[in-house]
Every structure is written in C-alpha cells, then in structure tokens.
Amino acid sequence: MSAQARKAGGTNVDTVGLDALLIEMSRESQNLAEHCGKIQCSISAMLDVVDHPDLGAEIRVLQDIDRIQQTLADIAAILVVTGEHANGALVLKDEIGSAIRLESLRRRLGLCEHLPGDAPAPDACDTTWL
C-alpha cells in the first residue's frame, strides 16, 4: 500500500494524529525548557561558590541557557496552537520516526512499537561523564 493510500485510508497503526503528535511534542519541549531552568540554577549556584577567572564568559553561558529555555517554551506554545488547528490530519509514523535520532523520544511520542517489558534502546551519546 502506498503512502498516499495509507494517508487517505483513515486511522491505522501506521499513522498518528498530527494534533496528538504536536501536543506531545509541546510537552517534550516544555519539559526541556524546565530542565534548562534547573541547569541554569545549578550552574549559577556553583558559580556563587567558585572563584572563576572568567566570570563574564560564564554569565554569557547562563544567558545562552536562558535563551534556549525561552525558545523551547515558545516552541511548546506554538506546538499547542498548531495542534489545535491540525483538524484530525494524519501523518505516517515511519516518516516522522525516521527523522528522530533518539529512540527514547520516538517511544515517548508513540512513533514506534513498545512492548511491555522491553528495555529502552540506549541513545547515542558523545559526552564523557566525570
């Protein structure tokens, strides 16, 4: 069955409502904005007790985190409004899912099968944790 035929055929397991997807993406963006706020507070608290040689650079980092937080909150608000106007449109889960690198995000958005007892697949990570 072609993609067009599946889109026209109504709701099935291969599609997801665009409105529901946008609302869930809004929740993800809002959660990330809240995490940025917590990171900003943590860094600020650490800077209060550390004698850092370039405090100006650190303040710019805090401002960048604040900008990321505000942008994510704005994107969350845009997604809610957009979701309210989606009018039951359907999108193919595979098309959306293939654009997402994080398996855990695909699962949270309901774009891939998740059987009870399945362990989440590890997400790629280049960060070295100390």
pLDDT of residue 125: 47
Residue 48 maps to a domain = yes
pLDDT for 8-49, tens place per residue? 455 567 999 999 999 999 999 999 999 999 999 998 888 878
8 A C-beta contact, residue 40 and residue 62: yes
**Parent domain of 62:** 10-108
pLDDT of residue 114: 60
8 A C-beta contact, residue 58 and residue 43: yes
Q: For residue 14, give the nearest of 91, 89, 86, 83 by alpha carbon.
A: 91
Residue 122 maps to a domain = no
Residue 26 maps to a domain = yes
Instruction: Indicate the pTM of the whole model.
Output: 0.73
pLDDT for 52-93, tens place per residue? 777 777 788 889 999 999 999 999 999 999 999 998 899 999
Residue 76 maps to a domain = yes
- From residue 25, alpha-carbon distances to 51, 115, 120, 130 in Å are 40, 22, 19, 31
8 A C-beta contact, residue 18 and residue 99: no
Our count of domains for the chain comes to: 1
